[in-house]
Amino acid sequence: MRPLCQTGAVTSPPATPDGRLVLLRHGETEWSRSGRHTGRTDVPLTEHGEELARQAGRLVADYDFVLTLSSSLQRARRTAELAGLTPEVDDDLLEWDYGGYEGLTTPQIRDELGYDWTVFRDGVPPGDTPGETVEEVAARASRVVKRALAAMAEGDVALVGHGHCLRVLTSVFLRQEPRLGAQLLLDAGSVSVLQFEREQPAIRVWNHGPAVTGH
């Protein structure tokens, strides 16, 4: 039971909890290796992606997480499993819904449009799925951050998810505009650590692990 304040109300989590927020991006897939935008398509890890997940597990082995959350997509759940984590599924950690650009590479999209398109600046059209704006991804990420902050009052939290979503989530955690995520590169199988330093949200470790280019 949580301690009670003098009025009998349940105390709120501290604004700057002591726990750390550990982000684990899933391992490589065939689509990430070839640069294809992989939103809701449920592709598996490659053999190399599974090895990246095992290596990530060694990086987080000394943590004692009070909460572990994962996207429901198999590439995230398998990464968590191989990293030795037992997560609760939270669909707010799903990757950006790329709508009509699902499965396409950035060069393909730019050739079609005739200008230097980026997902953070220009967004996506609907396709087989509706697609999302960066603001909609940030709204989902905000719910995850709120949940994580409450748990970080008790200890460390792990999130297993996807490149673009975790980059937007980091922007939200840092209290910045979600488009900051465009400047935060995150490789497959990497581990990053966020925390508070003198009441300010901060990056402790970023993109730690084998460098593998992917989307």
Q: Is 3 part of a structural domain of the chain? A: no
Q: Is 187 part of a structural domain of the chain? A: yes
Which domain, by its residues, includes 61?
21-208
Q: Is 8 part of a structural domain of the chain? A: no
Q: Strand (E) positions, the chain?
A: 21-25, 65-70, 88-89, 156-161, 191-197, 200-208
What the block records as the tokens of 5 is: 């304040």
Q: Is 200 part of a structural domain of the chain? A: yes
Kindly report, residue by residue over 112-132, the tens digit of the pLDDT: 999 999 999 999 999 999 999
pLDDT at 3: 41
Kindly report, residue by residue over 188-213, the tens digit of the pLDDT: 999 999 999 999 999 999 999 975 44
The number of distinct structural domains making up the chain is 1
The mean pLDDT of 178-182, rounded to a whole number, is 98
Please state the pTM of the whole predicted model. 0.91
Of the chain, the percentage scoring pLDDT greater than 70 comes to 90
Q: Is 85 part of a structural domain of the chain? A: yes
Q: Which residues contact 38 (CB under 8 A, 6 or more apart)?
A: 29, 31, 32, 95, 102, 103, 162, 215
By C-alpha distance, which of 193, 195, 162 is closest to 207? 193
Q: Is 93 part of a structural domain of the chain? A: yes
Dist. CA 40–CA 95, nearest whole Å: 7
pLDDT at 10: 37
Q: What is the mean pLDDT of the chain?
A: 93
Q: Is 13 part of a structural domain of the chain? A: no
The mean pLDDT of 12-17, rounded to a whole number, is 67
- Whether 13 and 155 have beta carbons less than 8 Å apart is answered as no
Fill in the amino acid letter for 172. V
pLDDT at 1: 38
pLDDT at 9: 38
pLDDT at 145: 98
pLDDT at 121: 97
Is residue 161 over pLDDT 60? yes
The interaxial angle of helices 47-59 and 74-82, nearest 10 deg, is 50
pLDDT at 16: 85
Of the chain, the percentage scoring pLDDT greater than 90 comes to 89
Between residues 169 and 212, which one has the greater pLDDT?
Answer: 169
Dist. CA 175–CA 164, nearest whole Å: 17
User: Residue 170's domain is classified under what CATH number?
Assistant: 3.40.50.1240
Kindly report, residue by residue over 55-112, the tens digit of the pLDDT: 999 999 999 999 999 999 999 999 999 999 999 999 999 999 999 999 999 999 999 9
Q: Which residues are catalytic?
A: 26, 95
Q: Is 7 part of a structural domain of the chain? A: no
